[in-house]
């Protein structure tokens, strides 16, 4: 690597340095990588094996440091490479292909899938929105199952479907902890000695050179590297005592794998644009807990449960069993759940208390907790995969299979495909141009199972825009016909239903208005009041598994926000927040980091933020006509728990 170091910036008074006058340290590498997850793991694992020959001599020579192998550096925002926030079940086709002969169940918390069930959960509380859904299919289904339960085998307020659709099956796969898997992969990569991985280093933005001659940004603009986040600032980002400007890292290729809410990927999309007709519109918040089960729980490692129907018809759930009596249990709250007070943590607690699950979970202990946003647009959310000087991999590149609900193996495989393309281009000494990357990386991706299955899944969820029953039927038909038959229309509106539309059949408009006013005056969220009024019982805390939301931040993995960084969440136009009635960013915040603030503008506490990104896609205030009113930037810290 080569560096051109400027003189350090002396201590300054806050707000005295303007961005345009800041002198930044420069460093040149061959490949700069942003984000470390399954996709980047696949990329670095594959690439690191090809930088040297078997005898230790250089195979792929660096342009920035002649005589040395390609100089590759990866920056990860989180303070630890094992701080992923998801348990996962995956068929692991691509992952196994990268580790032939390796028993992947030796990875901590990994287990081979042994038993898999799809379970329909009835509403034992009679509190869910079944009663107001049209058509009343779920309410009718509950009545039929309860009346004829002796025929259908109804037990514990649940019905185990005798058939799991092929597109959902993971029977030959693995149950993983992404935190443990990422840590294991990073150890393998680090052992190669040819790749640097730096955690705790948030990347603020890509460096983009504009070409005004070309009409289209994707054809003319070039990504020339990345800029790290400034340190030593106040919460507004102004230079403070100890100010250190973020370094500019120049690279021939920038590999973007920072996930669906990553700052670099989103800023490339904002500058260069998206392919015609593509947008990241469908999302979900995944929230889960890692639970230490009691000794006689009866669940064996490798058990996989997929659930539908409860706590709300729109919310899917899961339970995956790891070795050593650990289980990941969680829910997905989707963007097409149109409730104006949709939330996650309380729903997760009610989900765990469902009789079908509580018989296993009762007596358990919370070991970890986490949440993350999932980009559920799949192929329709695919950005430009490559451009001059950059390539996109992983979930932020639209690789998730939204029909199978599978993303880890797909993300890994896209990383492998890019690494193979980089090796091919480096051997031929060809530049990382858009044309060359399309001919190597994009070609590999289009010819692979990842792309083939994403085509089948592309329109499988269209029906959810017209209702949960329509959506489930559409998914089943799309899966069983290999994508040949799907709901045709994709609704263009993301508008939420009003409180009156969602709950008017159960709560009078006058009472709803009073609830809103009282919560606004007290600075509290509205969802608890609504759920209480609709018949959801209060959670009886046991101090072990059923604990308060704030206690989960402490017991389920500490939330750390190192000083000296700007707030990574801000509100562009306060007047839009004041006019926003729902304040959905408050309701959906996973860590209660966003609360109702003074003058009707939400307040942000970075000490509680788990960096899930839910506020970004739940903002209903239209900031500039194309996106919400929330600025979500690169940030350090977040939730810390290796068990995730």
Q: How many CA atoms lie within 13 A of 203 on its CB side?
A: 34
φ, ψ for residue 331, nearest 5 deg: -135, 160
Q: Rounded to whole angstroms, what are the CA distances from 177 to 218, 303, 519?
A: 37, 14, 38
The bridge status of strand 558-560 relative to strand 569-571 is unpaired
Length reported for the chain: 644
CB atoms within 10 A of CB 439: 16
φ, ψ for residue 172, nearest 5 deg: -105, 20
Contacts of 19-24 with C-beta under 8 Å, sequence gap 24+, read 22/245, 23/245, 24/227, 24/245, 24/246, 24/247, 24/248
Cis peptide before 311 (omega within 30 of 0): yes
pLDDT of 433 reads: 96
Pick the CATH number of 2-88+179-277+382-455 from 3.40.50.2300, 3.40.50.150, 3.40.50.620, 3.50.50.60: 3.50.50.60
Helix (H, G, I), strand (E, B), or coil: what is residue 59? Answer: coil
Cβ atoms of 425 and 433 closer than 8 Å:
no
Cis peptide before 200 (omega within 30 of 0): no
pLDDT (tens digit per residue) in 31-45: 999 999 999 999 999
Bridge-partner residues for 388, per DSSP? 222
Site of tokens 């306060």: 574
pLDDT of 4 reads: 42
**Given 3-state DSSP classes, what are the helix, strand and coil percentages for the chain, each rounded to the nearest 5?**
30, 25, 45
**Where are the domain boundaries for CATH 3.30.9.90 in the chain?**
111-177+280-378
Q: What whole-number distance in Å separates Cα of residue 159 and Cα of residue 398?
A: 34
CB atoms within 10 A of CB 643: 24
The reported pTM is: 0.92
Please list, residue by residue across 170-204, b when 16 or more beta carbons sit within 10 angstroms of its beta carbon and e when fewer do: beebbbbbbbbbbbbbbebbeeeebbebebebbbb
Burial (CB count within 10 angstroms: exposed 0-12, middle 13-18, buried 19+), residue 148: exposed
Cβ atoms of 447 and 455 closer than 8 Å:
no
Cis peptide before 597 (omega within 30 of 0): no
**Where are the domain boundaries for CATH 3.50.50.60 in the chain?**
2-88+179-277+382-455
Residues of the chain with pLDDT under 70: 1-20, 83-86, 131-136, 212-218, 489-495, 556-558, 622-627, 640-644
Fold of domain 111-177+280-378: D-Amino Acid Oxidase; Chain A, domain 2 (3.30.9)
Q: What whole-number distance in Å separates Cα of residue 578 and Cα of residue 585?
A: 13
**Where are the domain boundaries for CATH 3.30.70 in the chain?**
511-640
pLDDT of 615 reads: 93
| 448's tokens | 């692979």
Among 336, 337, 364, 335, residue whose Cα is nearest residue 349 = 364
pLDDT (tens digit per residue) in 580-613: 888 899 999 999 999 988 888 999 999 889 999 9
Among 146, 1, 160, residue whose Cα is nearest residue 73 = 1
pLDDT of 131 reads: 58
Alpha-carbon Rg for the chain in angstroms: 25
Fold of domain 511-640: Alpha-Beta Plaits (3.30.70)
């Amino acid at each position: 690597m080569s560096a051109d170091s400027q003189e350090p910036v002396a201590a300054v008074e806050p707000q005295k340095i303007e961005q345009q006058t800041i002198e930044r340290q420069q460093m040149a590498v061959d490949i700069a990588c942003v984000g470390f997850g399954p996709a980047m793991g696949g990329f670095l694992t594959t690439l690191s094996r090809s930088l040297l020959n078997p005898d230790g001599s250089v195979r792929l020579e660096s342009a920035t440091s002649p005589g040395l192998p390609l100089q590759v550096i990866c920056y990860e925002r989180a303070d630890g490479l094992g701080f992923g926030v998801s348990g996962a079940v995956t068929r692991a086709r691509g992952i196994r292909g990268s580790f032939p002969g390796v028993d992947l169940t030796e990875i901590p918390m990994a287990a081979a899938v042994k038993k898999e069930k799809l379970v329909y959960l009835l509403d034992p509380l009679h509190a869910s929105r079944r009663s107001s859904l049209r058509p009343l299919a779920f309410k009718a289904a509950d009545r039929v199952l309860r009346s004829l339960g002796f025929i259908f085998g109804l037990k514990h307020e649940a019905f185990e479907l005798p058939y799991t659709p092929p597109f959902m099956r993971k029977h030959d796969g693995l149950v993983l902890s992404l935190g443990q898997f990422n840590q294991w992969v990073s150890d393998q990569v680090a052992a190669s000695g040819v790749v640097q991985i730096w955690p705790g280093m948030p990347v603020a933005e890509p460096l983009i050179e504009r070409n005004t001659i070309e009409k289209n940004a994707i054809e003319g603009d070039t990504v020339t590297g990345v800029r790290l986040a400034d340190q030593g600032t106040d919460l507004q980002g102004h230079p403070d005592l100890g100010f250190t400007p973020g370094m500019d890292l120049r690279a021939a290729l920038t590999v973007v794998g920072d996930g669906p809410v990553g700052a670099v990927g989103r800023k490339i999309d904002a500058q260069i644009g998206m392919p015609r007709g593509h947008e990241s519109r469908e999302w979900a918040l995944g929230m889960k807990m890692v639970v230490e089960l009691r000794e006689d729980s009866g669940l064996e490692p490798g058990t996989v449960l997929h659930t539908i129907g409860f706590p709300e018809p729109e919310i899917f759930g899961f339970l995956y069993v790891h070795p050593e009596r650990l289980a990941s249990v969680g829910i997905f709250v989707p963007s097409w759940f149109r409730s104006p007070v949709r939330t996650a943590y309380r729903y997760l607690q009610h989900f765990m208390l469902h009789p079908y699950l509580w018989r296993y979970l009762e007596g358990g202990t919370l070991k970890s907790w986490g949440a993350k946003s999932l980009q559920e647009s799949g192929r329709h959310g695919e950005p430009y995969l490559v451009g001059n000087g950059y390539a996109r991999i992983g979930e932020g590149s639209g690789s998730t299979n939204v029909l199978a609900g599978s993303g880890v193996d797909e993300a890994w495989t896209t990383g492998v495909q890019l690494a193979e393309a980089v090796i091919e281009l480096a051997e031929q000494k060809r530049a990382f141009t858009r044309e060359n990357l399309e001919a190597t990386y994009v070609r590999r991706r289009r010819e692979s199972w990842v792309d083939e299955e994403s085509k089948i899944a592309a329109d499988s969820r269209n029906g959810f825009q017209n209702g949960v029953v329509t959506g489930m039927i559409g998914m089943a038909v799309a899966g069983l016909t290999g994508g040949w038959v799907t709901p045709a229309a994709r609704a263009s509106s993301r508008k939420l239903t009003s409180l009156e539309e969602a709950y008017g059949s159960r709560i009078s408009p006058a009472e709803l208005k009073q609830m809103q006013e009282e919560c606004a005056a007290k600075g509290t969220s509205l969802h608890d009041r609504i759920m209480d009024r609709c018949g959801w019982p209060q959670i009886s805390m046991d101090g072990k598994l059923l604990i308060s939301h704030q206690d989960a931040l402490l017991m389920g993995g500490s939330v750390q926000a190192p000083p000296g960084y700007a707030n990574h969440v801000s509100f562009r136009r306060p007047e839009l927040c004041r006019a926003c009635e729902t304040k959905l960013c408050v309701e959906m915040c996973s860590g209660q980091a966003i609360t109702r603030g003074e003058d009707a503008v939400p307040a942000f506490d970075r000490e509680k933020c788990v960096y899930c990104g839910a506020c970004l896609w739940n903002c209903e205030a239209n900031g500039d006509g194309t996106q919400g009113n929330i600025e979500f930037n690169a940030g350090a810290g977040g939730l810390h728990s290796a068990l995730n």
